[in-house]
Amino acid sequence: MSLADRRPGASKGETVKKETADTMRTRPGWDEYFLGFAAQAATRSDCLRAQVGAVIVNGRRKVKGTGYNNSPVGVESCLARGGCYRIEHGIESGTRYETCRSIHAEQNAIIQAGEDNCVGSAIYVFGHDQVCILCKRFILNAGITRVMLQKSAGGPVLEIDPRDWRKDL
C-alpha cells in the first residue's frame, strides 16, 4: 500500500482512463474530485473579496462537512449590504480579522462536520493558496491531518501536513 493510499482522501495523482464500448472516458483522481467539491461550495460565498469553499473528507473518502466563507446566520452580508468594510478601508488580506463579517470556509466546514468526523480527515480548500492563523488553529484542534489548497481552477495544488504549523503557533 502506497503512502497516498493511507492518507485520508489521498489519490495517486494520476487520471484514471477507462475504455468503454465506443469511447475513452477520463476520471479524476481523488484530490481533483474533492477540490471540485470545494470549488462548487465556493460559489455559495457571500463575500465580495474572496470566494472560498472547503470540504472535509475522512480516510474512507466520505465527505463529512462542507463550508464556504459567509456571514453568520442572521447577520447581513457584505453582498447584501453592497459593500465591504475591508475593501473600502484597504485592509490587507490576512490581517485584522475582527473587521470581517464573514466566517471562513474552513471554520464552517469544521463546525458542520463536528470534531468526531474531523479527526484523521483531510480538508480540501478552493479559492486560497494559504491558511490563515485562525483556521490553522481550528484545523489542528479538530484533528485534521491533511490540507489540500488550490487557488483557482487548473492552478497548482498545495499539500500541507498541519502538524508542521505547531512550531509556528
Give the contacts of 74 (CB within 8 A, at least 6 positions apart).
none
Q: What percent of the chain has pLDDT over 90?
A: 68
Rounded to whole angstroms, how far apart are CA atoms 28 and 169?
A: 35
pLDDT band at 5 (very low <50, low <70, confident <90, very high): very low
Residues known to be catalytic: 106
Identify the residue whose cell numbers are 483557482.
152
Instruction: Tell me: pLDDT of 93 over 90.
Output: no
142-167, pLDDT tens digit by residue?
999 999 999 999 999 999 999 999 88
Q: What is the pTM of this model?
A: 0.79
Task: Judge residue 25's burial from the number of C-beta atoms within 10 Å of its C-beta, 0-12 exposed, 13-18 middle, 19 or more buried.
Answer: exposed
Give the count of beta carbons closer than 10 Å to the beta carbon of residue 49. Answer: 15
